Amino acid sequence: MRTRYFRDIKGRPTIKAVVYERADHSIPRSEIDIDARKICARLADQGHEAYIVGGAVRDLLSGRIPKDFDIATDASPSRVKRLFRNSRVIGKRFRLVHVYFRDGKIHEVATFRAPESGDRNHVFGTLNEDVMRRDFSLNALYYDPREETVIDFVNGVKDIRKGVLKSVLPLSTSFSEDPVRMLRAVKYAAITGMKVSGPVGRRIRKEAPLLATASLSRLSEELYKILKSRNSEIIMRLMDRYKLLEHLLPNFGDNKSLREATFLSLAKLDQKMISAEVSRGVMIFHLCGEMLEAHGAFERQGRKEPLYLDVVHTLKGLLKPLVQPNRDVEEAVRLIFIDRGFKIPRKRPRHPEVRVGESEGGDRPRRRRYRHRKLKDQND
């Protein structure tokens, strides 16, 4: 283990990072995805810095198997695009590069960002500047696959070893600047088994109502990340503990028995996710099935079966303020109807007044035959 200094904006070597050598950390190079290593190697051969970052380093230090291997570099997105023919630049707020491989694998390559990089201006920066754009210390680690070293500016390695989740950014502004970070904090703590530090936990409870100001699309995206994490039950329980669930899904209410039934349903979802990926409709089915029951969505009111479209409408209302695609909501309702033994209505024709191929006067013009005959005459 050694110390490395980086220069600040005035050119003075005052920014200190701890560099963990191969003997100081528990990351075997063989555990790094071979294609991610190749990307870093090519960038390094062209004179650029390139590191494995974020969750992959965190998981490897924790003895877990990473799902993704993201890469950070000082090369611009256009430069990365030129170096890798199997890539394309994506993103509007922040330009990233996705590098594609034959087996369907995708590696994300991001250029270092400066602290002033915001929603509208994307300012590229240096390695030591990029670390200050990370949210929590466990995600602010950089692994160099060529040197087999971990660069740590924020004591992230020590925090992981102690099992404590701490913020990199000042708590006075971190969550107000981006309320979604509160969901991410709870998610990381639940997945890794780490404890949320006292200052972070108190700030989350205090600023939980700020979730109402966050982008609905980002909240929906984060919810699905939680549901597909295979740890949705424990994450949701921890969200409930930190008063986040009531602001993310306010229609859950204060019914403790309902929440417990929902948590148990999410435990079943986690078991399904172990063996195979599932659709978003299945996720909504496990998240909202018990909630629909509690809100009387299946009351028949003299009918043999609950009305399908009424249940769809109710489910959309329960998910508010989040807005979900109709296909996902309808798939969830179909699964609920099947699970409860209700009859699923057939799809209605687009124009119920006039059947396809039939005019209002009762004549049935042979449209397909006419079209076929017309094309034949044209060919002749």
Do both 198 and 330 map to the same domain? no
pLDDT in tens, 131-162: 988 899 999 999 999 999 999 999 999 999 99
Whether residue 6 is contained in a domain is answered as no
Do both 60 and 91 map to the same domain? yes
Do both 46 and 144 map to the same domain? yes
Contacts of 170 (CB under 8 A, 6+ apart): none
Do both 241 and 143 map to the same domain? no
Whether residue 363 is contained in a domain is answered as no
Whether residue 355 is contained in a domain is answered as no
pLDDT in tens, 176-212: 999 999 999 999 999 999 999 999 999 999 999 999 9
Does the active-site annotation cover 135? yes
H or E segment to which residue 81 belongs: helix 77-83
248 pLDDT higher than 80 = yes
357 pLDDT higher than 60 = no
Do both 156 and 188 map to the same domain? no
Do both 158 and 169 map to the same domain? no
Residue 165 β-bridge partners = 196
Domain count, the chain: 3
- Residue 212: which CATH number? 1.10.110.30
Whether residue 282 is contained in a domain is answered as yes
Q: Tell which of 231, 248, 265 closes a domain.
A: 248
329 pLDDT higher than 90 = yes
User: What predicted TM-score, i.e. pTM, was given to this entire model?
Assistant: 0.82
Size of the chain in residues: 380
Q: Tell which of 142, 162, 182 closes a domain.
A: 162
User: How far is residue 321's CA from residue 317's CA, in Å, rounded to a whole number?
Assistant: 8
Q: Tell which of 133, 162, 191 closes a domain.
A: 162
Whether residue 360 is contained in a domain is answered as no
Catalytic residue, chosen from 70, 130, 152, 328, is 70
Do both 36 and 126 map to the same domain? yes
Does the active-site annotation cover 178? no
Is the bond into 209 cis (omega within 30 degrees of 0)?
no
Tell me what pLDDT residue 306 has.
81
Do both 23 and 136 map to the same domain? yes
Q: Which two tokens stand for residue 377?
A: 């005459």
Do both 33 and 137 map to the same domain? yes
Whether residue 185 is contained in a domain is answered as yes
Catalytic residue, chosen from 59, 74, 130, 135, is 135
- Residue 61: which CATH number? 3.30.460.10
Whether residue 65 is contained in a domain is answered as yes
pLDDT in tens, 292-307: 888 888 876 667 778 8
Whether residue 100 is contained in a domain is answered as yes
Do both 233 and 254 map to the same domain? no
Tell me what pLDDT residue 6 has.
79
Catalytic residue, chosen from 33, 35, 68, 144, is 68
Do both 265 and 178 map to the same domain? no
Enclosing domain of residue 277 = 250-348
User: How far is residue 16's CA from residue 8's CA, in Å, rounded to a whole number?
Assistant: 10
User: How far is residue 97's CA from residue 105's CA, in Å, rounded to a whole number?
Assistant: 13
Do both 69 and 124 map to the same domain? yes
